[in-house]
């Protein structure tokens, strides 16, 4: 694939990611049903994986980076969602 086409795809993915984040913000403000909010969160995660691959990363490395970041959050203990980090670590290890 040529560089110009790849850049266009990256820009499209970035736009989609921002759109989905904005849509999630609106869904939270309007207290939309959980299923709709989860769908938007799923789209954001998918956007991140697709963008990672398009910029030369791999799905596996992104998973590893997420696990490492979660462990650092757990060790730091300053994040308000530190309890969630422990649950996510267990989830990633069980996959």
The string of pLDDT tens digits covering residues 44-74 is: 999 999 999 999 999 999 999 998 998 888 8
Give the global pTM.
Answer: 0.85
With residues binned 3-state (H G I as helix, E B as strand, rest as coil), the percentages for the chain, rounded to 5, are 85, 0, 15
Tokens representing residue 17 in the block = 């990611």
- Residue 14 vs residue 92, higher pLDDT: 14
CA distances from 83 to 64, 78, 87 (A): 19, 11, 7
Q: Quick one: how many helices (H) and strands (E) in the chain?
A: 4, 0
Q: Go through the chain and tell me how many residues it has.
A: 95
Mean pLDDT of the chain: 91
> How confident is the model at residue 86, as a pLDDT?
82
pLDDT category, 1, cuts 50, 70, 90?
low
Residue matched to tokens 């709709």: 36
**Whole-number pLDDT of residue 2:** 87
């Amino acid at each position: 694939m040529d560089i110009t086409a790849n850049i266009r795809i990256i820009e499209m993915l970035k736009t989609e990611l921002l759109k989905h984040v904005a849509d999630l913000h609106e869904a939270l403000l309007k207290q939309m049903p959980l299923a709709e909010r989860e769908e938007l969160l799923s789209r954001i995660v998918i956007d991140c994986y697709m963008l990672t691959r398009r910029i030369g990363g791999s799905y596996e490395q992104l998973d590893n980076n997420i696990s490492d970041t979660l462990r650092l959050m757990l060790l730091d203990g300053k994040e308000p969602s530190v309890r969630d980090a422990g649950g996510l670590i267990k989830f990633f290890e069980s996959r």
